[in-house]
Structure 1
Amino acid sequence: MEAFFGSTLAVAIAEIGDKTQLLALLLVARYHRPWTIAAGILVATLVNHAVSALLGVWLADVIPSQWMSWLIAASFVAVAIWVLIPDKADDNISRWDKYGPFVATCVLFFIAEIGDKTQVATVILAAKYDALIAVILGTTLGMLLANLPVLFTGRWLLCRIPLNVVHWCAFVLFIGFAVITVLR
């Protein structure tokens, strides 16, 4: 359960103010189909985070165990610093219009997650915990928890969340993960 809840919390907080939230806002503004876009986010995130978690498990197998906790802790610190850097979303949505909102969301979210801090966090979390499915489901739930409110409340919500406070909370969370990893 620790892997599931830790993964959910880490990604949900790290995603606030992320480019995928901006992408979700652009998609719902363009297509006006929040449930369809939510389904696309779910599929794209499951696939992306499953691949990421598998990579994390593989890395945990090939990297010597005496190095693993230090590498994971250093990675958490790097992600903590990364969440303090604001993202921007590109408006490449129009080229996907002919495929509809579901396919557009699947493709654009999958691409947006490549190399993103939550993808890196998924790799790290999968390497840290011996719970592949819990990490995949937790990080996917975290992504949905961060993006679904944007789909249904849009700009109203984004205007009321102090993003600098959220980014600092995510920073503290990832630093906490780093400290706990080293202490264990």
Structure 2
Amino acid sequence: MLADLLIPFITIAIAEFGDKTQLSVLLLSTRTGRHLMLLTGVMSAFLIVDGFAILLGAWITDVVPANVLKIISGAIFLLFGITTLRDLDGDEDESRTFDDSPFLSGFLVIFLAEWGDKTQIASAIFATQYNPWMVLGGTMLALFMLSLSAIYLGRFILRYVKRRTITLAAGLIFMVMGAVILLL
């Protein structure tokens, strides 16, 4: 049961670390002193987007046979790994406008950027394999820690860890997860 929490937590944390979403949160945090409002907006959006994906993932296990889901899940993780590695040289610097409300700005940036994102789909896939509540807990804990880091420590961390290294690790982890799912 602990794996139901830890596997999504570790995978999502590594995959999202240094992602454009986290960089957007970092950018927003430099434009406000109301960091708690920003964090609340960001986490509210993550809860809606990833919560929906996890509900869908848990529901689909009642409709689609487990062996079919296993093949689809493994293939999707492999695809995420490949596309993540292809983005190693991509430019993900996207400027965002900042509204007067840090809550609204954080919410809108995450809500609009995360639909169909690899971590949202990964959360749904995890919910097909693990306890959905534990998946939600692991996913939200990872996103909370990363968002908090982006808001308070982001610039410090990015000074010492190259974005390319983080992207490479995320891509490889997705590919390993895909291979493990397909082989087990």
* Same structural fold, with TM-score higher than 0.5 when normalized by the shorter chain: yes
Give the CA deviation at 1:19: 1.2
Q: Which residue number corresponds to residue 93 of structure 1?
A: 97
Task: Report the CA distance shift for 1:146/1:83 in structure 2 as closer, same or farther (over 3 A).
Answer: farther
Question: Counterpart of 2:69 in structure 1: which amino acid?
Answer: M
Partner of residue 11, structure 1: 12
How far 1:87 sits from its partner (Å)?
6.2
User: What TM-score does the superposition give when structure 1 sets the normalisation length?
Assistant: 0.88
What one-letter code is carried by the residue in structure 1 that aligns with 2:136?
Answer: I
2:177 matched to 1:177? yes
Report the counterpart of residue 144 of structure 2 in structure 1: 144
* 8 Å contact from structure 2 (residues 21, 113) kept in 1: yes
Distance 1:66 1:109 in 2: 33
**Runs of 5+ unmatched residues, structure 2:** none
CA shift, 1:60, in A, is: 2.4
Is the contact made by 1:48 and 1:110 (CA closer than 8 Å) also made in structure 2?
yes
Rounded Cα–Cα distance in structure 2 between residues aligned with 1:87 and 1:74: 26
Query: Could you tell me the TM-score, scaled by structure 2's length?
Result: 0.88
C-alpha separation in 1, matches of 2:82 and 2:18: 15
Higher mean C-alpha deviation, range 104-113 or range 69-78 = 104-113
Q: Distance in 2 between matches of 1:151 and 1:87?
A: 21
Amino acid in the other structure paired with 2:129: K
- Count of residue pairs brought into register by the alignment: 180
Equivalent position SS for 1:63: coil
Residue 89 of structure 1: CA displacement?
5.1
| CA distance, structure 1, for counterparts of residue 83 and residue 145 of structure 2 | 20
Contiguous gaps of at least 5 residues in structure 1: none
The alignment status of 1:134 with 2:134, answered yes or no, reads: yes
Q: Deviations over 1:105-162 (max 9, x none)?
A: 1122111111111111111111222x11111111111112222212112323212112
Rounded to whole Å, the distance in 2 between the matches of 1:92 and 1:168 is 25
Q: Is the contact between residue 48 and residue 113 of structure 1 (CA under 8 Å) also seen in structure 2?
A: yes
Q: Percent identity?
A: 31
